Amino acid sequence: MSGLSREEVERRGHGVWAEVDLGAIRHNIAELRAVAPRSELMGVVKGYAYGHGNPAVAWAMLQAGATRLGVARVAEALHLREAGVTAPIHVFTEPPPRSAATMLTYDLTPAVYSEAFARSLSEAASAGGRRIGVHVKVDTGMHRVGIMASDLPDAMRALKALDGIAIEGAWSHFAVADVPGHSFTRRQFELFNELVMEIEKTIGPLRYKHMANSAATLSLPESHLDIVRPGVAAYGLWPGPHLTNSADLRPAMSLRARINASKVLPAGERLSYGLRYELERDGRIVTVPVGYADGYDRGLSGRAEVLIEGKRHRVSGTVCMDQFLVDVGEDPVEIGAVATLIGSDGDAHITAEELAGVIGTINYEITTRIASRVPRVYLNEIPPATRDVAAESTQTSTR
């Protein structure tokens, strides 16, 4: 359940580790709750908590006031249940029909948008003499999954007729809430409200309606409804450039490695695969034991910078599977020095946003891709006794 300590990481031979500040996670959840004070907060912890690690992150969110959690897959939910998390866990995507009984066994909240999966849930619930609460996913224009507006009346009549199914909520997802003033965001929200009215005509009032992701939580207060679902913002990452510093959020992750080789090479020598980097003068070259197998993208080759002893240095040559090189010039950097790939060193900072800009992606792809072989070192972790109290109080407040 817990991450390794920094000392244990090194004893086990790891030269790279990700530090995750659970105090920052708790702070961010508290800030986001203050932004949407009348809504419940669902902490989104899919994708191994956006690379930050579960269940430690889930516990931190619950301690800070999240009342429920969101994941993409049943396996992610089971990982949390097996760690003792008792708060409601929403599964955003329908799994294979054979998973229906598992969802009942582990008291998970399914998203429903197909008749086939709904029937599987109904059969499993009826066989056990139970009812399962579901949240209907409606498609408001993103077109990944969800019931289309034209299909909704028939779909709701079919769902209402199924035994063992209790429709407790409806939800959708914004496509461009991170783009300020985009007309499509308004169109989606208006359509969602229309579809909710259609649902309630068939089954009566819904307990939960939710649509707000991180961007909408921060910038579209009318979309907060009954639940907000911040993902990226909970980790101190910004959902869009225009939202930077729109709240007091703190990045939770740092990625560090201990240099494992240091040598002086003469001018004219070339480095790494492809020999694309040539020394223009004599210089010290250090090896950082991180590569694309750790999630440090090959596209960062020769473009990204790292912090070593508080100074920026460019990645020199091609990033390899397990390591890359850095030309530190005349700086006397020795084996054992710490390189910071994401995070702070003294007054200098490298953010996930910076690395994302280098390779043309988004900040949380940078964190989510940090591989499982990179150990997570948790800072300010919740003591086990406090965890139990947090989980129990959350359970009591939401059931």
Per CATH, the architecture of 23-232+382-398 is what? Alpha-Beta Barrel (3.20)
> Under a CB-based contact definition with an 8 Å cutoff, are residues 215 and 178 in contact?
yes
CB atoms under 10 Å from CB of 366, counted, come to: 29
**How far is the C-alpha of 245 from the C-alpha of 241, rounded, in Å?**
9
Q: Identify which of 275, 279, 280, 357 has the alpha carbon closest to the alpha carbon of residue 317.
A: 275
Closest CA to 301 of 323, 328, 330: 323
Q: What pLDDT is stored for residue 386 in this prediction?
A: 53
Residue 61 is encoded by which pair of tokens?
């969110």
Q: Please report which helix (H) or strand (E) contains residue 393, including its range.
A: helix 384-398
> How far apart are the C-alpha atoms of 185 and 263, rounded to whole Å?
54
Cα separation, 64 vs 230, in Å, equals 14
Torsion of CA 292, 298, 303, 304, to 10 degrees: -20
Tell me what pLDDT residue 220 has.
97
Q: Which two tokens stand for residue 75?
A: 């396996």
Report the run of H or E that residue 388 belongs to, with start and end: helix 384-398
pLDDT of 390: 43
Sign of CA dihedral 303, 306, 309, 312: positive
The predicted pLDDT at position 216 comes to 98
Q: What are the CA-CA distances from residue 367 to residues 234, 238, 343, 362 (Å)?
A: 13, 13, 12, 9
* CA separation for the pair 316, 305 (Å, rounded): 9
Determine if the pTM surpasses 0.75. yes
Domain residue spans of the chain = 23-232+382-398, 253-350
pLDDT of residue 394: 40
Q: What secondary structure does DSSP assign to 23-75, as a single string?
A: HHHHHHHHHHHHHSTTSEEEEE-HHHHHTT-TTHHHHHHHHTT--EEEESSHH
- Residues that are catalytic: 46, 273
CB atoms within 10 A of CB 346: 10
Per the listing, tokens 């009549």 go with 157
pLDDT on residue 2? 53
CATH topology of 23-232+382-398 equal to that of 253-350?
Answer: no
Where does 253-350 sit in CATH, by number?
2.40.37.10
The reported pLDDT for the residue numbered 361 is: 98
What is the full per-residue pLDDT of the chain (399 aa) written as tens digits?
357 888 898 888 899 999 999 999 999 999 999 999 999 999 999 999 999 999 999 999 999 999 999 999 999 999 999 999 999 999 999 999 999 999 999 999 999 999 999 999 999 999 999 999 999 999 999 999 999 999 999 999 999 999 999 999 999 999 999 999 999 999 999 999 999 999 999 999 999 999 999 999 999 999 999 999 999 999 999 999 999 999 999 999 999 999 999 999 999 999 999 999 999 999 999 999 999 999 999 999 999 999 999 999 999 999 999 999 999 999 999 999 999 999 999 999 999 999 999 999 999 999 999 999 999 999 999 764 555 444 444 443 332
Distance CA 356, CA 366 (A): 6
Residue 7: exposure state from Cβ atoms within 10 A (0-12, 13-18, ≥19): exposed
| Adjacent-strand bridge partners of 42 | 68
CA atoms within 13 A on the CB side of 294: 24
Q: 351 CB contacts (<8 Å, ≥6 apart)?
A: 251, 342, 363
Whole-Å CA distances, 199 to 195, 292, 298: 6, 47, 48
Q: Are strands 376-379 and 324-329 parallel, antiparallel or unpaired?
A: unpaired
Rounded to whole angstroms, the Cα distance separating 135 from 72 reads: 14
